[in-house]
Structure 1
Amino acid sequence: MRILMVEDAADLAEGVIAHLGRAGLTCDLAATIEAAHDCRAVQSYDAIILDINLPDGSGLSLLRGIRAAGDRTPVLMLTALASVDDRIEALDQGADDYLGKPFDQRELEARLRALVRRDAARKDETITLGSLTYVLKDRSAALGAHPLSLTRREATLLDALMRHRGQYLSKTRLYDMLYGFDDADVGVNAIELYIARLRKKLASSDVTITTQRGVGYRIGQSGDRDG
């Protein structure tokens, strides 16, 4: 599970990230609305923890933008503003939950897990592309009746391609999806290796991964045309 925390209080953010990390959750930090936009441009998230008072504006404006774009990623508002009116406004703007400061780290974790479970129940659990079936929940795949054996990186790459099937994803964007923001020891050209591995595993099927130079990679059925 990958979480985006939009919070400018460094000590608080570090404590949350450390706690969630011990619980097996990956958490990226954005201290401003602008940084949050940058994170979301290259990475999809299972949930967002969003403060209201941020250095470059209100978290509610970010929330409105997320919902206006049709993005239903669960959002938990985390703020010192604790009045009933504040909570109502956040929920009316599209927040899924609200937790006032100070708070218990265990409650934050439990609320996040509950939000993600509810979101997963709303999602279509399976994507089918030709003979390839992909299950979102556990990132498993099969060609016809035959399961595909995938490493964690291969499964993450296939997840990105299948969620954006028919669209080209740049090498840089795929790199950010696979490695996040802290794997400086791995070069972006590692994506070519994993693309090659996926192509080999799909070679006997009607599913292909095509390359457009300078644009990126897309997954589709054999014979598909761009457009």
Structure 2
Amino acid sequence: ISSPIVPKDEQINDINNPFEYGFSINVPIQSIDVAASYFSGYDRIVSFFGANVWTGQWSNPHAIKQDIVLSYRHTKMFGLGFSSSSNNVFIKGDLGYFITDDKTINTGDSTLYRYWESGIEQIIQDCEEYNVSSSWDTDFEEIVCAIDPKFNNSEVIDNSAKYFQFTLEMEYSPTYDFNIIGQITGSHVLEIGAADSIKTSEGTIIFDPNEYFIPGMGSSNTFISSNALSISARKLLPNIGLE
């Protein structure tokens, strides 16, 4: 059971109350601008919330089919930032502290349940094929495939976490048509939900939130790496219209 690389629309649970709010305060202190901010809302990317386990209760009770459930975590963000300039050098930095949870879906067994149309249709189709392949057996009793799909249980992953991110950027612009920008970004998890497991006929499947966790807010660099360094240069050539 894993989170898909490209999610399907049917896998994503909608947010019941998509209300978001935030505020920011900016205070200049001599040559430095200091900002404080707060935001309460939902992640910009989906997270793995768990899976609903289905089987064909008579046709194939040992083969599980998983309805992967994705949704958007609720996140609170507390931020601090500063910016300053001196001659041709500009420096700015940001620090964000994030508290995220999966309260969009209540925790507890079977709370992820939903009518899984495509999976139920697949179980019925497999059941019908099983009836055909077993029809040679005179003792075989045909299964009523319409009632063969069975919801067994839900496995909910604990998505709660606390983490922080930081960005430090410096820009050097000796002339109006040339600048160099260097940026350091980082993201570190402080706390994360407890791991859980589910036993199947094929063995035990471990649900470790640390393996599935991706920051849903903040710097886009932290989606793929916990630490990043980038350096870029820009040169404007106005005579030929090239940048």
What TM-score do the two structures reach when normalised by structure 1?
0.23
Larger RCO, structure (CA 8 Å, separation 6 or more): 2
Larger Rg: 2
